[in-house]
Structure formats: structure tokens, C-alpha cells
């Protein structure tokens, strides 16, 4: 059995965070783009159907937030800050599309329907706690700034 030093483990973990960033960032980026590509099914039309106020304003706004913040997560730039609007986004999505349908879908049906949203919520919480990791633009910029001041 090979024991990995704490430093090596920390370095691996810092690099592995990119996997969570790509997973969460890609889902939000693609969902944001689809709000514009398929407005009836995923944009304004969906917002009207689920009762979001001012759907003609909110659907494009949410789409832009998802595109911008999803891209920031993919790059690892302003990672913790980018999670904040997405946490609000996913909380509203969970409430408006899953929680309110609990009585209709039941416990297991709701769990099934909410699996992606809950995964995104947990991924966002993780990224807000640990940041973008060592393979992030944030880390690169920080190391450059430290080099300039050394």
C-alpha cells in the first residue's frame, strides 16, 4: 500500500476540482444557451408555464446569468463569486419546478425529477467553499500577482 503525502494529496485534490467546475459550469452554460435557442420550451414559454413573474424579462436575464456564470466556472475565474447568482438560480428552480410539484409527483417522483438540480446545488456549494482549485484562472492570476510582488 502506497501512502500519499498530505502535500501530494492536496495538489491532486486542487487539480481534481476542475472536474466539478466543468460539470457544473457546462450544465449552466448549456442551459442558459438553450433558453435562447428554445424559448417556448425552456425560456419565456417555460417561465410563463411555471408562473415566474415577468417571464419576458426574467427568462433572458436568467439565461444570461447562466451563460456568464457558467463560463466563469469553466474558466475558474471569479469562481466563488460566480456561484452566488447560480445558487439563487438553482434555489428558485428547485422551488418553482420541483417542490411545488411534490404533492403531484410524490416523494420518489420528486427525487427523480430533482436529481440534476440537487447535483448542481451541491456542486455550487462545494465550489463556493473550496474555490476553483489549482487549475483555475483564479489560481494562475494569484500566483502571477504573488510573483510580481516578490
Residue 132 has pLDDT above 90, yes or no: yes
Would you state the pLDDT for residue 103? Answer: 83
Residue 150 has pLDDT above 70, yes or no: no
Q: Tell which wins on pLDDT, 111 or 29.
A: 29
Domains: count for the chain:
1
Task: Look at residue 123 and tell me if it is in a domain.
Answer: yes
Task: Look at residue 1 and tell me if it is in a domain.
Answer: no
What distance in Å separates the CA atoms of residue 150 and residue 148, rounded to the nearest whole number? Answer: 6
Q: Residue 91 belongs to what domain range?
A: 11-149
pTM of the model: 0.90
Task: Look at residue 2 and tell me if it is in a domain.
Answer: no
Angle formed by the axes of helices 55-75 and 79-97, nearest 10°: 140
Q: Quick one: average pLDDT of 23-48?
A: 97
Least confident of 7-11, 46-50, 127-131: 7-11
Mean pLDDT score of the chain: 92
Task: Look at residue 6 and tell me if it is in a domain.
Answer: no
Least confident of 5-9, 10-14, 78-82: 5-9
* CA nearest to 102, candidates 113, 110, 93, 92: 110
Task: Look at residue 5 and tell me if it is in a domain.
Answer: no
Residue 90 has pLDDT above 80, yes or no: yes
23-45-94-73 Cα dihedral, nearest 10 degrees: 30
Amino acid at each position: 500500500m502506497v501512502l500519499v503525502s498530505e502535500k501530494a494529496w492536496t495538489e491532486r485534490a486542487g487539480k481534481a476540482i476542475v472536474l466539478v467546475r466543468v460539470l457544473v459550469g457546462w450544465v449552466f452554460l448549456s442551459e442558459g444557451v438553450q433558453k435562447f435557442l428554445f424559448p417556448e420550451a425552456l425560456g419565456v414559454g417555460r417561465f410563463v408555464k411555471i408562473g415566474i413573474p415577468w417571464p419576458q424579462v426574467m427568462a433572458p436575464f436568467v439565461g444570461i446569468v447562466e451563460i456568464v456564470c457558467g463560463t466563469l466556472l469553466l474558466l475558474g475565474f471569479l469562481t466563488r463569486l460566480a456561484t452566488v447568482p447560480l445558487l439563487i438560480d438553482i434555489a428558485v428552480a428547485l422551488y418553482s419546478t420541483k417542490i411545488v410539484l411534490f404533492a403531484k409527483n410524490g416523494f420518489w417522483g420528486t427525487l427523480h425529477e430533482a436529481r440534476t438540480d440537487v447535483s448542481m446545488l451541491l456542486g455550487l456549494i462545494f465550489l463556493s467553499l473550496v474555490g476553483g482549485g489549482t487549475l483555475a484562472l483564479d489560481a494562475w492570476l494569484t500566483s502571477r500577482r504573488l510573483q510580481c510582488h516578490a
